[in-house]
């Protein structure tokens, strides 16, 4: 029997969307620097970037490299003004882009107002001895670009115009009720006269139905034991350790459901 092939994590990608690619432009990634780009891509795909924090105008991360201690990467970005962005969207009739981002879409109109446009829009530093754009900075940039690919709101946050703030500014110009004032400057009405952004976008004040009361259910007595054993074995638990793992799971479930 041929030996089993080692399990490999699926390959990771970055900058596969226009928003993710736009973020990388500020780093002047030169694909001619093949060796550096390849190494940074390896660091990204092997998850060498840890403790990533994203704030308006700043990204920080810890990157494990060739030395015992990880390197600290700091990226500072030239932020945009949220009110100016909201005014530009309003003037171009693009306020609907905000709800599009909330749905996970990546509208090109809003991207034009927030994306970095030149290398001067980003400054970065790393505790490694390399003065130029090092592989640790690039790996961090790739990680952020991958996050932007999944959630365009990440770009808004690091560029200083978080989606929540833009919505607050945009809502300040929305008509309170009905269609009154829907055509005045600053309104959030589209061509049909309906508000695009509601006052309670996140549903903080919504009246939700009561949580249903579920019947008492204990999976450790209702599920078939062979299925549970197979599931535990699939996680890598040795056959001899399955009974102990089952007991620990049952005890944890009892604590979570306050059965003990």
Which three-class secondary structure string do you get for 140-194? Answer: HHHHHHHHHHHCCHHHHHHCCCCHHHHHHHHHCCCCCCCCCCCCCCCCCECCCCC
Burial 87-97 (b: 16+ CB within 10 A, else e): bbbbeeebbbb
CB of 80 within 8 A of CB of 159? yes
CB of 182 within 8 A of CB of 188? no
What's the average model confidence in pLDDT over 28-45? Answer: 78
What's the average model confidence in pLDDT over 164-174? Answer: 86
What's the average model confidence in pLDDT over 12-33? Answer: 81
Range of lowest pLDDT (30-34, 127-131, 186-190):
186-190
Of 104, 140, 108, 109, nearest to 26 by C-alpha is: 140
CA angle 151, 101, 40 (to 5 degrees): 30
Percent of the chain's residues with pLDDT above 90: 47
pLDDT at 130 over 70: yes
């Amino acid at each position: 029997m041929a030996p089993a092939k080692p399990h490999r994590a699926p390959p990771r990608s970055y900058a596969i969307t226009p928003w993710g690619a736009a973020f990388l432009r500020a780093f002047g990634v030169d694909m001619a620097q093949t060796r550096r780009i390849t190494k940074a891509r390896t660091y990204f795909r092997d998850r060498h970037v840890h403790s990533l924090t994203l704030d308006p105008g700043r990204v920080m991360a810890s990157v494990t490299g060739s030395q015992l201690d990880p390197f600290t990467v700091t990226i500072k970005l030239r932020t945009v003004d949220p009110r100016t962005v909201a005014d530009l969207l309003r003037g171009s009739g693009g306020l609907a882009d905000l709800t599009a981002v909330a749905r996970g879409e990546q509208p090109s109109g809003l991207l034009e107002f927030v994306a970095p446009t030149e290398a001067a829009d980003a400054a970065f530093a790393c505790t490694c001895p390399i003065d130029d754009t090092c592989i640790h900075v690039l790996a961090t940039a790739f990680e952020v670009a991958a996050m932007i690919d999944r959630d365009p709101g990440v770009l808004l946050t690091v560029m200083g115009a978080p989606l929540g703030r833009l919505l607050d500014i945009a809502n300040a110009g929305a008509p309170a009720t009905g269609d009154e004032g829907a055509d005045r400057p600053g309104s959030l009405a589209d061509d049909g006269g309906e508000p695009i952004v509601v006052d309670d976008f996140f549903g903080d004040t919504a009246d939700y139905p009561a949580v249903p009361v579920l019947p008492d259910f204990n999976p450790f007595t209702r599920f078939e034991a062979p299925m549970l054993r197979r599931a535990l074995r699939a996680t890598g638990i040795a056959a001899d350790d399955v009974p102990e793992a089952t007991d620990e799971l049952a005890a944890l479930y009892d604590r979570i459901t306050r059965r003990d």
